[in-house]
Amino acid sequence: MMIQAVEEYNDQSKEEDDEDLPRSLSRRQLLLSVIYFVSLSSFFVSSLSDSVYHQFLDLFLLLFFLLTRIIDESTGDAAVVDPVDPEKVIASAEEHQVKIKFVLTTHHHWDHAGGNEKIKQLVPGIKVYGGSLDKVKGCTDAVDNGDKLSLGQDVNICALHTPCHTKGHISYYVTGKVGETPAVFTGDTLFVAGCGKFFEGTAEQMHQSLCVTLAALPKPTQVYCGHEYTVKNLEFALTVEPNNEKIQQKLSWARQQRQANLPTIPSTLEEELETNPFMRVDKPEIQEKLGCKSPIDTLREIRNKKDQWKG
pLDDT in tens, 6-50: 333 334 344 454 434 333 322 222 222 222 222 222 233 333 333
Distance of CA 52 to the CA centre of its chain: 16
Task: Give the Cα separation of 88 and 265 in Å (integer).
Answer: 20
Distance of CA 68 to the CA centre of its chain: 10
Dump pLDDT digits (tens) for 44-69: 333 333 332 222 222 222 223 334 56
Q: Which residues are catalytic?
A: 107, 109, 111-112, 165, 188, 227
Which architecture characterizes domain 18-228 according to CATH?
4-Layer Sandwich (3.60)
Task: Give the Cα separation of 247 and 234 in Å (integer).
Answer: 6
Q: Where are the alpha helices (DSSP H) in the chain?
A: 86-95, 110-113, 116-122, 203-207, 230-240, 245-259, 269-275, 284-290, 295-308
Please tell me the pTM assigned to this model. Answer: 0.82
Closest C-alpha among 81, 70, 74 to residue 42 = 74
Contact 40, 253 (CB under 8 A): no
**Strand duo 43-56 + 141-143: pairing:** unpaired
**Single-letter residue type at 273:** L
Dump pLDDT digits (tens) for 279-289: 999 999 999 99
Which of 27-31, 245-249, 271-275 is predicted least confidently? 27-31
Which residues of 82-237 form beta strands (DSSP E)? Answer: 99-104, 127-131, 141-143, 148-151, 155-161, 170-175, 183-187, 190-191, 194-195, 222-225
Dump pLDDT digits (tens) for 167-219: 999 999 999 988 889 999 999 999 999 999 999 999 999 999 999 999 999 99
Name the percent of the chain in helix, strand, coil, to the closest 5.
30, 25, 45
Closest C-alpha among 154, 225, 142 to residue 184 = 225
What was the pLDDT predicted at 37?
A: 24
According to DSSP, residue 18 is labeled G
Torsion of CA 83, 88, 92, 98, to 10 degrees: 50
Write the CA distances from 200 to 24, 163, 209, integer angstroms: 23, 8, 13
